[in-house]
A = this chain, B = another copy of it.
Amino acid sequence: MDESSTTKRLVDGEHCDSLPIDDRGLAYGDGVFETVLVAAGQPVWWTEHLARLRHGAARLGIEAPADARWDADAAKLIEANRSPSPSVLKLILTRGSGGRGYSPQTAVMPRRIAQLGPAPVIDSRWRRDGICLRLCDLRLSIQPRLAGIKHLNRLEQVLARAEWNDAEIAEGVLLDIEGNVVCATAANLFIVRDGRVLTPSIENCGVAGVCRAHLLRVTSASVETASVNDMLAADELFVCSSVRGILPVVALGDHRWSIGPVTRHCMALLANTSPAFADHAH
C-alpha cells in the first residue's frame, strides 16, 4: 500500500497530516487519547473506548464531540486502508487552539484527530511462551485528579520506557511513589494468587484500561492494593491492553512463573471477543 496515496490521518474529519502550532495538546498535553485495535475491519471495544474518551474529557472539562463524529472518522480511515492485518486507530481529542497561558476558558473548539497505523508487532512467542518484565526505577506520582484518564501528559511513561532497550523485555512494572504496584508502562497488570484474581487500583495513578475493565466485568477479578511482595508471591501474572490483549508474564528479574490456568482462561475469554486476540502471529 502506498503510504502517500491513502488517507491515514484526519483532523476534524478532514484529511490532514498536521496540527496548528497553537493547539493546547502540544502546549500543555491538554487532551485525551485512545488507541483502538482494528481487526477484520472492525474496531475492537469501540463503544468502550469512546465512553472512556468522553469520561476523560469530561473530567478535564473538555467538550467531547458526538460519538457519530468518531464513527465517521473510523469508517473513513478503515475504508481507505483495507488490510488483512490488524491495525491501530489512534484518536486524540485536544482542548483546541487558543488561550494565553494555562486558563482553558478561552479555548472554544476542541480538536478531533484520528489516525490509522499498523498494529504493533508482537513477537509471536509472547502470547505462547510469555514475556519478561523489568521493575522500573521511575515511580509514578500520585494525582487523583488525573488518575485513570488516558490523557496526553505521559512523560512518566516515556521516562520509564526509556529505562531499557532490550528486545527480550516486553514491559516494565511501575510502582507509585509509595511503593504500591500500579501497572506496566502501556498495559494493566493482573495478579493471580490462591485462586483469587486482582488488579491494582488506578485511583491514585495509572490508566483505566479498556481491556482491564472488560476483565473486571467478565471475571470475578477484584481491585486491590498490591505490594511488590504480593506481585512476586503470585501464582500467575499477566499484563493486558486493548491493543495487545493478554500477555502472560514468565519472568521478572530472578522470579519465574509458568503460564497458569487462570491466565489461559482469561486469554480464551479475550479470544471470544475478537479473533485478533487468538492470533499468535500478529
- Stoichiometry, as copies per complex, reads 2
Specify which chain B residues have a CB less than 8 angstroms from the CB of A103 in the assembled complex.
161-162, 165
Specify which chain B residues have a CB less than 8 angstroms from the CB of A145 in the assembled complex.
138, 156, 159
Quick check: is A72 within 8 A (CB to CB) of the other chain?
A: no
- B60–A159 contact, CB under 8 A? yes
Partner of A26, one of B23, B142, B161, B162: B23
- A155–B30 contact, CB under 8 A? yes
A133-189 contacts to B (CB < 8 Å): 138, 141-143, 145-146, 151-162, 165, 177, 185-186
- A102–B185 contact, CB under 8 A? yes
- Smallest CB–CB gap between A225 and chain B, Å? 18
Task: Give how many A residues have a beta carbon under 8 Å from the other chain's beta carbons.
Answer: 55
7 A-B residue pairs with Cβ-Cβ distance under 8 Å, sorted by A, are A19-B20, A26-B26, A28-B152, A28-B154, A29-B152, A60-B159, A146-B156
For the A-B complex with A26-B92, A151-B155 known, give 19 more contacts whose Cβ atoms are closer than 8 Å.
A16-B21, A17-B20, A18-B21, A19-B19, A26-B94, A27-B33, A27-B152, A28-B157, A28-B158, A100-B117, A101-B161, A102-B157, A102-B158, A102-B185, A102-B186, A104-B158, A105-B162, A145-B159, A146-B159
